[in-house]
Amino acid sequence: MADEHSHPGQQAQPKEQLIPGVKHVIAVSSGKGGVGKSTVAANLACALALTGAKVGLLDADLYGPNIPMMMGSTKGPEQQDGKIIPVENYGVKLISMAFLVPEEAPLVWRGPMVHQYLQAFFRDVLWGELDYLMIDLPPGTGDVQLSLSQMVPLAGAITVTTPQEVALYDVRKGMAMFTKVNVPLLGIIENMSFFVCGHCGERTDIFSHGGGERAAEKVGVPFLGSIPIDPAIRDGGDTGHPIVVAHPESPQSKAFRDIADKIIGTLGGKKEGRSIDSLLKKIKEPFTQN
């Protein structure tokens, strides 16, 4: 049956046929903006790649795409036989609207246009064989979320929040939306959970504490873990060096990798392991740690 955005006389493509080589499609969502969803998506993609998995990252935040900056990808994709070849960095295949439009150009699109371009990111991109395709969604419960649930079979949705009560309120609304469209809920990640002083080691719960875990318990979904607030994580996003790759042995990186392990366990994947050097070999510019 054609979905509500299809043109008259046009059959909707079966979900399984749109990206046949992708085993698991995972939506990374947030009920509101400003919770670090894209940072989490980028670092989780790298953490999954470090397990030996084949990983893609689709930046579906069409109005505010910033995954290329966070992943250190400045050069746009190439084409082959009318198809788009994803950019690859840190062992992760990437596609984003930021590659296709000028940086300053705003997108003023209604729902049908959003649906059309999102579909093209599946249909016209040579993703190849992937174990996981992470999708960084815009905040909220809008057209992109609805279109995504109609286009591809989602293995599940991850929700990113911060400990504040206002953020958790929006989390519950977002998770209710995924439930209504029959998307499994993989769990909640609490970002910017706490701050540890680099000098004295004292922990400060800047935005309260434990809210993500309480929300997960109330909704009845797994709590995947807490990510501390740390300048190194922010710096990694600004410089295009995700902390999981830039400082792989740090406690912050371990938090992301532990969450990746939980996702793999839930979806029945396998871990083979991959070295940091193997992730860095395709980077165009020299990688340095400060």
DSSP string, 192-223: S--EE-TTT--EE-TT-SSHHHHHHHHHT--E
pTM of the model: 0.85
Mean pLDDT of the chain: 82
pLDDT attached to residue 107: 59
Nearest to 106 by CA among 98, 118, 95: 98
The answer to whether residue 75 sits within a structural domain is yes
Nearest to 96 by CA among 129, 132, 128, 70: 70
The answer to whether residue 202 sits within a structural domain is yes
The answer to whether residue 91 sits within a structural domain is yes
pLDDT attached to residue 100: 78
Q: pLDDT grade, residue 46 (50/70/90)?
A: very high
| Residue 27 contacts residue 41 (beta carbons within 8 Å) | no
pLDDT at 287 over 80: no
pLDDT attached to residue 273: 74
pLDDT at 142 over 80: no
Q: pLDDT grade, residue 112 (50/70/90)?
A: confident
pLDDT in tens, 12-38: 455 657 788 999 999 999 877 888 899
Query: How far apart (Å, rounded) are the C-alpha atoms in residues 252 and 231?
Result: 11
pLDDT attached to residue 196: 65
Nearest to 124 by CA among 86, 164, 84: 84
The answer to whether residue 6 sits within a structural domain is no
Amino acid identity of 23? K
| Residue 99 contacts residue 23 (beta carbons within 8 Å) | no
The answer to whether residue 164 sits within a structural domain is yes
Q: pLDDT grade, residue 92 (50/70/90)?
A: very high
* Paired tokens of 90: 């840190």
Q: Which residue has the higher pLDDT, 117 or 134?
A: 134
Query: How far apart (Å, rounded) are the C-alpha atoms in residues 51 and 263?
Result: 12
pLDDT attached to residue 271: 77
| Residue 147 contacts residue 27 (beta carbons within 8 Å) | no
Amino acid identity of 89? N
Max CA pair span of the chain: 67
The answer to whether residue 236 sits within a structural domain is yes
pLDDT in tens, 156-198: 999 998 887 766 777 888 888 898 889 999 999 998 866 666 6
- Domain count for the chain: 1
Amino acid identity of 90? Y
The DSSP result for 60-117, as a single string, is --TTS--HHHHTT--SPPEEETTEEEPEEETTEEEEEGGGTS-TTPPP---HHHHHHH
Q: pLDDT grade, residue 288 (50/70/90)?
A: very low
- CATH label of the domain that carries residue 196: 3.40.50.300
Q: In which domain, by residue range, is 30 found?
A: 23-268
Nearest to 135 by CA among 178, 103, 102, 164: 178
The answer to whether residue 137 sits within a structural domain is yes
The answer to whether residue 211 sits within a structural domain is yes
% of the chain residues with pLDDT over 90: 39
Give the angle 180-182-186 at the CA atoms, nearest 5°. 105
